[in-house]
Chains A and B, each alone.
Chain A
Amino acid sequence: MLEVDGLRKSFGGKPALQDVSFAVREGEIFGLLGHNGAGKSTALGIILGIVEPNAGEARIAGVSVQRNRRVALRHAGAIFESPAFYEYMSGWDNLKILMSYSGGFDAAAAREVVAEVGLADRIGSKVGAYSHGMRQRLALAQALLPTPKVLLLDEPTDGLDPEGIKWFRDFILKLRDDRGMTVLFNSHLLPEVEQMCDRVAIIRQGQLVYDGDLAGIAEERLVLRIDAEPLNQAQAVFRQFGGEEAGDGRVVFPEGTDAAAIAKALVEAGTALRELRPVRRSLEDVYLEVSGSPEPEGGRSQP
């Protein structure tokens, strides 16, 4: 439904994206992760036709955004981190104006969508008086009104309170389940991505470093929490099995390693084995492993 193929983009000679490719299947929620400045927003901008790539192409529903932008964007709706509306106008008038650029305004459809996002009571009020949560609901309404096939969300839950985040998450999941909506979700909030997304891609310094199934992440490598003494003898055993210490007593072994064999080897090596139990790898573990240390400005990434 959404394909990104060999995207390259530089700003002032500095590469922002280097040969980034990924595909989002119909009806799935796809998470795009990365530090600040990693290139996520640039990728999203290229997909939406507001940033021109140096090379590569983005396709929405099989239509190239770069070659046939207007047709491609008929299938897309977008929400940005801080949606900017015309503050001095009502939410309803904002929808009317924005929809005029999508081919026309259908009042009945708008009323339905506004009720769906829970903004019916305040749609006549000026946007200047809206809370951040209400603005995000209005942003959802404007993105859904053209009945898109793909929804592109650029850090939509940033700044929302926990109730707002939960409402937003449930709404997006409902869109996927009820309408089969395809969603590209660009976020720093790893727990949100973990709860919502079917697959994720991780971008680091403009390069795609991970693209995979979220459900399969935990099974890809074996992570064990091990407490054994003396440590040097235990570490020799870890090395023997290709294990790497990941801190906090966790050791990461290659896919297919047998935990029982490690336990046996540790006992045979004469260590006092107090604890050995598998640890489920979270998205955060994978993210930190593949994305490395955050950039100095990347303070918003999860610890």
Chain B
Amino acid sequence: MRLFLYQLRGELKKLFSRRRTYIGYVVFLLFEAVLLLVFQLEHSKEEMAELLTENGLAFGDYYSSLTVTYWVMGFSMFMLGSIYFALVAGDIVAKESEDGNLRLVLVRPVSRLRVLLLKYVAVIIFTVTFVIFVGITGYIMSVIALGFEGGLFVWNYEMKVFAAYPDWGEGAGRLVMAALLIGVSMCTLSTIAFAFSCLKIKPAAATILALSVLFVDFVLLRFPFMQSYRDLFVTHRMSNWVYVLENNLSWAKIGESYAFLGGLNVTLFVAGWMAFQLRDFKT
């Protein structure tokens, strides 16, 4: 275990020594700032006020840093997170294979499974911590723009979630749980890209394939006749983090979704490992 942690430290060091890793952080910060500016526009405020008052809630109580953080986090993960995580995870094996670094690793007394497991754990740590980073920075920026006070208002039409938390503490607690679950959801995206990365393909191909799978899944889910099968769609399951924000919290519903995603992740990892194990790394 100690050696595994030492090797994992090396994997994380590789990941965080790349300049482009930090480019991702900067891009997300800029994106969050832009979203925050959009929420500050009069038109956005009017829309939010309309939505709140129509549901009997006071605009002043819920147009807050917590509510804006919820929107910023959701939007940035949906629009940029998917691309960014697919890029990083699609790269992690395929790039080293393409560059030839893997040869120097695989000629050492270490199993291929262990090499893959280390890379996978590194990707998972990166994914979850990145989502938490986005949540924290989103909240700090929102506090700077809107102040500390206010409750949390959640509205997700597709997932049929509508909730309001007038108490800051409860709202903040739910938002922290939501951030963690978004992180776990995003791990599925990273796992899909990782599995493709284990094949003998270019890093860009692994990223594109992962995004294509999710895009097809996302589009098919929007077909009306697919609604009865929506529990079988990955993107639907990935969106189930929002259930943690419901007033009547159902851990069974959330647990079922994350068990589905967990099973899918294990299956994808094993499939990637099998493909990786059978590959010849010709010099």
Contact = CB atoms under 8 A, between A and B. Distances in A.
Given A11-B280, A73-B108, 15 more contacts: A45-B283, A50-B281, A51-B280, A70-B109, A70-B111, A80-B100, A83-B104, A84-B104, A85-B101, A85-B104, A86-B14, A88-B17, A89-B13, A100-B10, A101-B7
Contacts of A82: 100
Interface in A87-110: 88-89, 93, 96-98, 100-104
Nearest 9 interchain pairs by C-beta: A84-B100, A50-B281, A97-B10, A101-B108, A70-B109, A73-B109, A41-B283, A48-B107, A51-B280
Interface string B116-135: 00000000000000000000
Interface string B160-203: 00000000000000000000000000000000000000000000
B43 interface: no
A69 B110 CA distance: 9
11 contacts: A50-B106, A50-B281, A51-B282, A76-B107, A80-B100, A80-B283, A82-B100, A88-B19, A89-B13, A98-B105, A104-B6
Nearest to A139: B104
Taking residues whose C-beta sits less than 8 angstroms from the other chain, chain B's interface range is 20 to 34
A49 B111 CA distance: 10
Nearest to B115: A101
Contacts of B110: 70, 101-102
A187 interface: no
B164 to A, nearest CB: 47
A200 to B, nearest CB: 19
Nearest to B4: A100
Contact of A45 (B108, B109, B281): B281
A244 B281 CA distance: 43
Contact of B106 (A41, A49, A88): A49
Interface string A145-178: 0100000001000000000000000000000000
A51 B282 CA distance: 6
Interface string A95-127: 011101111100000000000000000000000
A25 interface: no
Interface string B213-228: 0000000000000000
A100 B6 contact: yes
B282 A45 contact: yes
Contacts of B107: 48-50, 73, 76, 78
Given A71-B109, A98-B105, A50 B100 contact: no
